[in-house]
Amino acid sequence: MNKDCWDKTKVVFEIIFGLIIGGIKAFYGHQINANLKQKELNIKMIEVAIDILTTKPSQKTDPLREWAIEIINKYSEIPLSEEAKKELKKRPIKEVSYLLTENGNRLLTESGDPIVLSE
């Protein structure tokens, strides 16, 4: 009889611990998913801001450019310096593309002229 009582208690504990572990997994899974969605939204906001900053500045777009600069500062890990903010208010961001050489060096091409960034 004593063994039967112990077996029932063991099953009850397994069920309780299973529910607790399942709840913890669900909670953290939800948190991770929410964080990933927030990061995706942040990236989209930065992309919108960059699109705005690639256009030529004008008096009509000045408030929008200010907003785009604020968005970049809010959602990026490294905020813009005051000098960078001033430049972005005056000039559009130039389009830049990256290439890799055969030996793995990273090249930056702007207007077709490659520049070695790392050796």
Q: The domain containing residue 81 runs over which residues?
A: 2-93
Task: Answer yes or no: is 108 within a domain.
Answer: no
Give residue-wise pLDDT tens across range 61-108.
788 999 999 998 888 887 888 888 888 888 887 644 444 555 555 454
**Interatomic CA distance for residues 100 and 38, integer angstroms:** 31
Task: Answer yes or no: is 112 within a domain.
Answer: no
**Interatomic CA distance for residues 35 and 48, integer angstroms:** 20
Task: Choose the weakest-confidence range: 23-27, 52-56, 76-80, 111-115.
Answer: 111-115
Task: Answer yes or no: is 71 within a domain.
Answer: yes
Task: Answer yes or no: is 34 within a domain.
Answer: yes
Task: Answer yes or no: is 106 within a domain.
Answer: no
Give the chain's domain count.
Answer: 1
